[in-house]
Amino acid sequence: MAIFEGAGVALVTPFHDDFTVNYEKLEELIEMQIAGGTDAIIIVGSTGEPSTLSIPDHLLVVKRCIEIVNKRIPVIAGTGSNSTETAIGTTTEAVKLGADGCLLVTPYYNKATQKGLVHHYTTIAKEVPSTPLILYNVPSRTGLNMMPETVAELVKTVPNIVGLKDATGNIAQTARMMNYCDGKLDLYSGNDDCITAIMSLGGKGVISVLSNIAPAQTKEIVMSYLRGDVKKSAKMQLEAMPLIDALFCEVNPIPVKGAMNLMGLGVGPLRSPLSELESQHVELMRKELEAYGLL
């Protein structure tokens, strides 16, 4: 049984102007997502700026999200680290707080061999045997590509490793991975420009940046496909491409926070070393938001 099927949002972490977490705004954003039909909240993933949150703040954001959602939809906590010990600590604490699942990015900077990845994930999974885990493969951010054979080994040998957020952009690799996994893997697109393509390979949905600003539209791309209306899903995917491109004109989550502030959602600044959206990209974002009917 998948943790969720449909559109999950990789939610931003809103800050006050003094860079403290804005919990009132967090509640507003979560309610907006639930009202828009979002199927799961992915909290403090890459889009939520975990690299500049202390572990206590990280866990407090997870805790408040779980409390606000109050079991209406699943909450999946981003708890990955390039340290196995740190990932175990954050994951076990998130589970104690009531997270429905955890998202675990591949180790970054120090990287790992494929053998090291198997050990890393297996070790974490054993500490939370009743909690479903979603692996996260995003080579553009981590400098490490988890190979299809590695994913297949993990999902076949570790019962609570159930899913993968695929942000490789490599559809051939994704197809090979799904073949190796023999139907045992819940696949989610980690790229908003690949939703329909991932669905065609057996995907369950998307963990989306786009959903921060367009939750209903993002969900409909997925649900149209699941209802069998592939043409509508593909049409909506293509129509969203200019906005999706704008959302990744700089490193995520710089553009999406810029877009949300342009829309009046007031999510505040980014923590350094991330910087505000460049002026030329502000105008690009404004143009694409208007074209998509969001301004």
Domain of residue 164, CATH code? 3.20.20.70
pLDDT tens digits for range 202-231? 999 999 999 999 999 999 999 999 999 999
Q: Is residue 276 part of a domain?
A: no
1: confidence class by pLDDT, cuts 50, 70, 90: low
Q: Is residue 98 part of a domain?
A: yes
Global pTM? Answer: 0.97
Of 244, 234, 223, 252, which Cα lies nearest the Cα of 294?
Answer: 244
Q: Is residue 279 part of a domain?
A: no
Q: Is residue 234 part of a domain?
A: no
Tell me which residue range forms the domain holding 210: 6-229
At 250 the pLDDT is 98
pLDDT tens digits for range 57-86? 999 999 999 999 999 999 999 999 999 999
Active site residue 188: no
Q: Is residue 64 part of a domain?
A: yes
Scan for tokens 């209306």, then name that residue.
229
Q: Is residue 238 part of a domain?
A: no
How many CA atoms does the CB half-sphere of 119 hold within 13 Å? 10
Total domain count, the chain: 1
* Catalytic residue, candidates 136, 180, 225, 292: 136
At 237 the pLDDT is 98
Q: Is residue 243 part of a domain?
A: no
Task: Give dist(CA 236, CA 9) in Å, integer.
Answer: 18
* Catalytic residue, candidates 63, 165, 204, 257: 165
pLDDT tens digits for range 119-140? 999 999 999 999 999 999 999 9
* Contact status, residue 36 vs residue 60, Cβ threshold 8 Å: no
At 160 the pLDDT is 98
Active site residue 63: no
Q: Is residue 253 part of a domain?
A: no
Residue 278 per-residue DSSP state: P
